[in-house]
Each structure stands twice: as structure tokens, then as C-alpha cells.
Amino acid sequence: MKKQKIEDIFSSMEDFSSVPPPELWGQIEEKLDKPKKKKRAILWWSAAACLLLGLLLPSILHFSSSPQNKNFDNGKGGFENNRVVLDEKINDNTKKGNINSNNNHNKTLDSVTNVSSTKDKLNNSKATQEQESAVAHANSKNKTNKKDSESHMQLPNNNVPNQSLAVQNFNSSEEKSGARSSKKSILEKDKFSNTKGIAEERVAFGKQNKFNSTAKKQLSNSIFNDKLVPKNNNNFAFNTESSAGNTNASKQNAAVYKNEKVSEKTLAANTKDNSKFNTAALSKKDSMQLAELQNLEKGILAPETKKEEKDKKDKLINKKEKWALSVFAGVASSENTKNEKTLGNVNDSKQSNSFGVKTKYSINKKWAVGSGLKINELGQSVANVSYVSAKGNALFAPGEYASNSNSPVSQASSNSDYILISNSTKEALKGDNIQSGKLDQNLRYIEMPLEVSYSVFNKNKASINLNTGGFVGKLISNNVALDGHSIGENVTANDYVYGSTLSSTIQYRVYKKTNVFVEPAMNYYINPLNSQSFNQFQWGLNFGLNVSF
Amino acid sequence: MKNDREGQLKIYQLFSPVLYGICLKYMKNEDDAKDVFQEAFVIVFQKINQYKFEGSFEGWLKRIFINKLIETLNKKKKESFFLDVFDPDTDFVEEEELEIIPMEQEKLLEYIRDLPDQYRTVFNLYVFEKMKHKEIAELLNISEGTSKSNLNRAKHILQKRILSIKNFKTA
């Protein structure tokens, strides 16, 4: 009796096939419908988490750093929370103007730090301290639609097993060698190609694709236009009998077809050739199936083949790029989210510009960390602020108003001789010198952010990242202007600020490693002023250029 | 294509027998084979747009299935899978040549599935997928030596079983 190795005994198992139970297709359909929801849910949850984190972080830091937020009130509710405190330059000018004034009133202008106490004296009212308590509400309502999409595709019970085909192609030896050489090149390409997280990635098949060694039984050579096989003499063997695990039976071919000319290049040519099959030998059912498969192939094949090389190049670039350097500039708008008031008037939003450089390091495909430098401006604008100007008025003395009226004069201006008056006290003051104007305050910082970035979308040339993190800023410019004229500085401004930031970067590759991006962002400044409130929330929109390397 | 249920069904009908056969060869019991079969097919349809038309479609499908099978086996026996233990009894036993005994596929499948997971996986990859030990080692994250010894042990076990049948028949 002839002897053989164990591999030979089991060689028949190489082509082992078995028709799966019919209910499996239904279960696969169910699973196919579910993951989409999951993925979407994950995306929304992560976006919501980032948003929540971005909003909660500043609040937590804010309340942990300043347990008491003190605000002064004149007892009549006239003064709201804010006071504009101006330069110490005030002193000389006010002294000149206040010849007849009470010494106490002069003293009120002597020192900026004494403003609170002098105000108390002027008002003859109690300075009451109110402790504001703010609660940060973060409501996140997540509604999930759990509408189970039912499959419209009803598979007849006997559909799967009966229609399953054991298909075999018997390639000529010439084809095999051709196919193998092509496999080799394919796999070498595979080694370098960056496929996206599919299970396929894990296989390192080395120089030869062993799975393709079974190509002799692959319908795919004919179904999917395999360009690399120069001459494809595919023989289709359709086994119309479906019997579980019976490959021998599958070899009882209903018909054998020879495809003499298969075009190397186009699917159209391929389908043309296929139409040359000896259809007489095909049963109607089989030819219909074949036609459907060809249509199927068209659907898969059409747009992808041409872009392959380009995609590969892009992926190769992506793979190497760890660092990115960006320059950006944009607009920002500081918002009054707490309805804060200054001198009885609501603080309005203020637009400003920002610009800077940023660098990012990719930790992996999804995550990156970044930092940089940014010049940004936080501001607020208060309309209809009442003030008294002593400019050109030799007889003007701020103290006059105070002594006559017993009502507060909130702030005094310095080099231009301005006294800012709150709304509530404006009525109480007599005189024609009271004017109103627009008060602008700008605090410019150089900031250093530290951000974590998560890639939520990355396909072809486009990508979307969500960024969140914190920043520290150093005050570099401090200006208070009344009707466009600078009247000094806000002396309660902190030299160093910190806060949190949340942004989304939408990026598009324009040339090799160069990208353009747009970045909607929001920043929260925790401590712009040391004892007063100020616009702390800022929207921003940056536009920039990004180079990866 | 990704959401074309009819197209998906066609692919399923065409390739499911071969792929289900692979699952049966790699998994010890049929329930596990069914589970992996479903999960792998879901991956196939989710990732079908990533098929680059490099090589055959069936080869691509098989790769996904085998990766999924190995992943499942690894999860099942994370600690004991692919232990690199030297066994002189089997590692250096020369392979015997056996007389041809016509055997049914079902019987052969039973023998394969009776093998311990680690032996069965290496045996399947080496004998049916024609992979080299180096490639198997890379895929399974084991040493080449382990791959070789697992294969020898698998062969040894199968040999014993076939011989026992032969002896039974001749007796």
C-alpha cells in the first residue's frame, strides 16, 4: 500500500467547506444594524464628555481657588459688581482741581487701593459684602433613539443553504505562477500600506500570501478584475447541489466555461469577455447569479482602483508624521455669560483678534498633545457709562458732587479727569457736566496652552480633531478707554491668568504635508481680575496653516 | 456596497461554505465556530470598502476570518495558549509515513478539532494555509521553535489516532 505523510492524509481538508446553518445570516444582519448606532453613540458621548470637561474644569478650578467672591454694594443697589479702577496718575490732576474740596474727598483719589474705603466715606453708606454663590449647571441630556431598525431583507429559510454555491476555479499552471508573482508584489505593498484597524492588519504574511495559494479555487479572480493576472483563463465550476461539507460533490460541475480573453485593465472589458461565456451551458439561474456578481463587482471596483496609489502615499506620509507646527490667526469674542454689570450697565461682548503658533505631537493614531504660544485679548464693553469730565472745566471738582449729593461717585479718572458714575447715583447728582459714553476694557495676554487632541475623523485629506486643555497667560497689555480715549489701566487685573480651552480643528491637506485648518474654540478665563468680575468666556474662530513633519 | 444588503447576501452565499469550513477547523466546538463566523462576517461587511483589489477577494476574506479566529482563541486561553514548553517526546520524533487509509472529511475534521487549541492552530496554518514557521510565529506572537514543536506535537497526536484506527481495522 502506498505510504504518505500526515499532511497528505489531511490534504483533502484544505478545501473543506460546510454550509452554515441558515439562521446565521439573520443574526449577521442584526449585528450589521447595531454597530452603527454604537459608533454614533460613542462619538456623541465622547463629544459630550469633552464639552462637559471643558465647561466643568474652569468652574471647578474657579471655585476651588476663590471660595469667596466678594462684591461690594452701596446699599442701594446702585453699584453692581464692577468698578473701574484707574491709574494712580489720578492724584496730581485731581489735587489741582479740588481746591475747595473736602480733604477726605481728595484722599479718596490719592490711592487706588483706597477706592473702596473712600467710596464708603463718600456714600456714607454701609459697604455690605455679599458673597456670591454660583452654581454651574451642566445639564447633559442624552437621548438615545433605540429604534431597532428591522431588516427588510427576509431570507427564506432554505435560501442560504440551497443557494450557496461551492465555486471552484481551476487555473492553469501558467496562471498560478502569474498569480503567485502578483501576490508577492501585493504583499510587499501590504507590508507598507497602512490599513485602518481591521483584523486583517494583524496578519504578517511575509513574502507570500498563503491564502492566495488557494487561488485556484477562487471565484474572485473572475469576479473582481484581478489586473495582475495577465491571462486569466478562469474555469467556473458551479455546484448546484448544496450539501454540507461535501466538496467532492462540488466537483461535479454543471458546466465548465472558458474565458479566453480577459482584459487586464478595465472591468468593462472583463464583463464583455464574460459575456462571451458559453451561456448555453449555463442554467438560467446560474447566469443570473453570474450577472449579479458582475454588477456587484462594478459597485466595489469603480472609484477605488485609481485612487489607490494616491491613498497609499497619503497614508505613508501620515505614518511618518509625528509632529505638526501651525500658525494661526483669528477672531475672538469675549462674552458676558453671567449677566454681570459695570456701573449699573450690562457688560457687552467685545471682539478682538488673536494669533499664535502651536505645535502638536501625535502619540498614536487618535491621540496627540500640543502646546504653543498665543496672543489673545479678553475684553468687555460697557455702553452708556455716566461720567463727569473735568477737562477744560476749571471749576469742576469731583468732590463737589460727592459732598452735595451724599451719593457715590464710583470712580475717578486720572489724566483726563474723569469720574465714572453708576446709573443709580446719576439721578441723584446735580449738574450739567454728567455725560455718558462707552467704556472699553481690554486685557491682552500671551498664553501658553497645553492641549490633548483626539482625532474623531481622519479620511483621505480631511481630518477633524477635538482638543481640550488648559492655558496660562501673562498680561502684556491693559487698557481702559472711554469713548475711544485711553484713560488708564484696570489695576485689579491679574498679571497671570489661567483657564481652560475646548476646540475643534477641521483640517484639510492642500499640498503634501501642508494643511489648512479652521478651528472654532471656546476659552474660559478663571481669574482675569483679582477682585471684580469681567467677561470670562470667549468664543473664537481661528484660521491657520499646518505643516506636518 | 457597505450597506447593500443584497450584495452582502450574494457574497455570503458565495463564500460562506468555505469560510464556515475554516471556522469549524479552527474552533473546538460548533457553537464557537458559529460565533466567530458571524463576527468575522460582520467585520467583512463593515470593512468591505477597504478591500484594495490587491490579490483575491477570497484571500482577503480568509485573512479576516483567520485573524478573528486567532483573536478569539487568544482571548479564550490567554494564559495557556502557545506555551513554549520543550517536550523531547514529541519535538524530536521523526514523522512516520502512514499507509493511505481513505478517511471521510468529517472524521478528519473531528481529529483536527480534538487537538489542543495551540497545536490545532499551528497545524491549520502550516498545513492548510501553507504558512512558514516564521510567518506563523509572527502571527501568533510566538517563537519559531514553538511553532515547530506545536506542529510536531499536532502531527504526533494525529498520527497516533490514525494508527489506532488502522490497528483497530486490521485487528
Domain boundaries, chain A: 159-315
Closest by Cβ to B46, choosing from A35, A189, A202: A35
Measured CA to CA, the distance from residue A478 to residue A496 in angstroms comes to 12
Q: What residue of A is the nearest CA neighbor of B47?
A: A198
pLDDT tens for residues A389-398?
665 554 444 4
Chain A CB within 8 Å of residue B106 CB? yes
Measured CA to CA, the distance from residue A431 to residue A413 in angstroms comes to 18
Measured CA to CA, the distance from residue B6 to residue B93 in angstroms comes to 52
CA distances from A110 to A106, A113, A439 (A): 6, 9, 23
Q: Which helix (H) or strand (E) holds A333?
A: strand A323-335
Inter-chain residue contact A153 with B48, CB threshold 8 Å:
no
Cα of B99 to nearest chain A Cα, Å: 4
pLDDT at B86 over 60: no
Could you tell me which of A384, A430, A421, A434 has the C-alpha nearest to residue A78?
Answer: A421
Distance of CA A145 to the CA centre of its chain: 24
Inter-chain residue contact B100 with A17, CB threshold 8 Å:
no
Give residue A237's region: left, alpha or beta (phi > 0; psi -120 to 50).
beta
Share of chain B above pLDDT 70, in %: 79
* Mean pLDDT (whole number) for B1-11: 77
| Contact assessment for residue A479 and residue A473, using Cβ atoms and an 8 Å cutoff | no
Inter-chain residue contact B67 with A186, CB threshold 8 Å:
no
pLDDT at A46: 67
pLDDT at A474: 92
Cα of B10 to nearest chain A Cα, Å: 7
Measured CA to CA, the distance from residue B45 to residue A380 in angstroms comes to 55
A8: chain B residues, CB-CB within 8 Å: 100
| Phi, psi angle pair for A393, to nearest 5° | -120, 95
pLDDT at A473: 92
Helices A23-65, B5-26: inter-axial angle, 10-degree rounding: 90
Q: Where are the domains of chain B?
A: 5-76, 88-170
A27: chain B residues, CB-CB within 8 Å: 38
Cα of A24 to nearest chain B Cα, Å: 7
Q: Cell numbers at residue A454, please?
A: 483626539
| Contact assessment for residue B85 and residue B42, using Cβ atoms and an 8 Å cutoff | no
Q: Work out the number of other CB atoms within 10 angstroms of the CB of residue A306.
A: 8
| Contact assessment for residue B149 and residue B123, using Cβ atoms and an 8 Å cutoff | no
Cα of A20 to nearest chain B Cα, Å: 6
| Contact assessment for residue A314 and residue A524, using Cβ atoms and an 8 Å cutoff | no
pLDDT at A56: 65
Task: Identify any residues that bridge with A374 across adjacent strands, giving them in sequence order.
Answer: A356, A447
Q: Which of residues 30-49 of B touch A (CB under 8 A)?
A: 34, 37-43, 45-49
Chain A CB within 8 Å of residue B100 CB? yes
pLDDT tens for residues B27-76?
988 898 999 999 999 999 888 888 877 788 888 899 999 999 998 888 87
pLDDT at B161 over 80: yes
| DSSP SS3 for A502 | strand
Distance of CA A458 to the CA centre of its chain: 11
- What residues in chain A have per-residue pLDDT under 70? 1-4, 35-44, 46-47, 49-320, 342-343, 389-419, 421-433
Q: What residue of A is the nearest CA neighbor of B163?
A: A6
CATH of domain B5-76: 1.10.1740.10
Q: What residue of A is the nearest CA neighbor of B152?
A: A6
Cα of A211 to nearest chain B Cα, Å: 5
Q: What residue of B is the nearest CA neighbor of A293?
A: B10
Interface A–B counts its CB contacts (< 8 A) at 237
Give residue A340's region: left, alpha or beta (phi > 0; psi -120 to 50).
beta
pTM attached to this predicted model: 0.36
**CATH number of this structure's domain B88-170, picked from the four choices 1.10.10.10, 1.10.760.10, 3.30.230.20, 3.90.1640.30:** 1.10.10.10
Give residue A372's region: left, alpha or beta (phi > 0; psi -120 to 50).
left
Answer with the residue of higher pLDDT: B113 or A433. Answer: B113
Inter-chain residue contact B70 with A202, CB threshold 8 Å:
yes
